[in-house]
Amino acid sequence: MATIKVGDAAPQGTFNYVPYSPELESGAACGIPVKLNIDEWKGKKVVLISVPGAFTPTCHVNHIPPYLEKFEEFKAKGVDVIAVLAANDAFVMSGWGRFLGFKDKILALSDTGAEWSKALGLTVDLSAVGFGTRTARYAIVLDDLKVKYLGVEPERGVTVSGAEAVLAAL
């Protein structure tokens, strides 16, 4: 059950990610993970989408591609940053982002151990399928680090955390 709600300040958090660079176009390049502190989003409008796992069917096919397809619509609504978050490591997230063609449009962030999502009350136990604790499927719009929209999926599938729902809320 989510402990964060609209109007709340986002909790402190630091994510690992591999910044996009043209060198990553090579399948032989891995990049070097760096840290992104949530404080870097102060004064910005951020759409943060959380998925249970990179390369998993719903996340890979239905959830994230529409965000990339509608990138310009998000920008036109004043969004400064679009980021996808999962408990996968930074290298897996980077590989997934390269596979889907994020380049410098969408940040692929690692919520190591789902710790930040845990602070929001938004984790899911997928131990039964061998995944352990993961980030739940949700979308958050942050404006100057305040929650302006929170869409937590009530069951499998993509509705309130999908690109259309988030665009409509902006």
Which residues are known catalytic residues?
59
**Which one, of 134, 138, 157, 158, lies nearest residue 149 by Cα?**
138
Report the distance separating Cα 103 and Cα 125, nearest Å: 31
Report the distance separating Cα 116 and Cα 13, nearest Å: 6
Q: In sequence order, what are the residues at sequence separation of 6 or more whose Cβ sits closer than 8 angstroms to the Cβ of residue 56? A: none
Report the distance separating Cα 53 and Cα 92, nearest Å: 10
Report the distance separating Cα 153 and Cα 47, nearest Å: 16
Judging by beta carbons within 10 Å of its beta carbon (0-12, 13-18, 19+), is residue 23 exposed, middle or buried?
exposed
Q: What is the CA radius of gyration of the chain?
A: 15
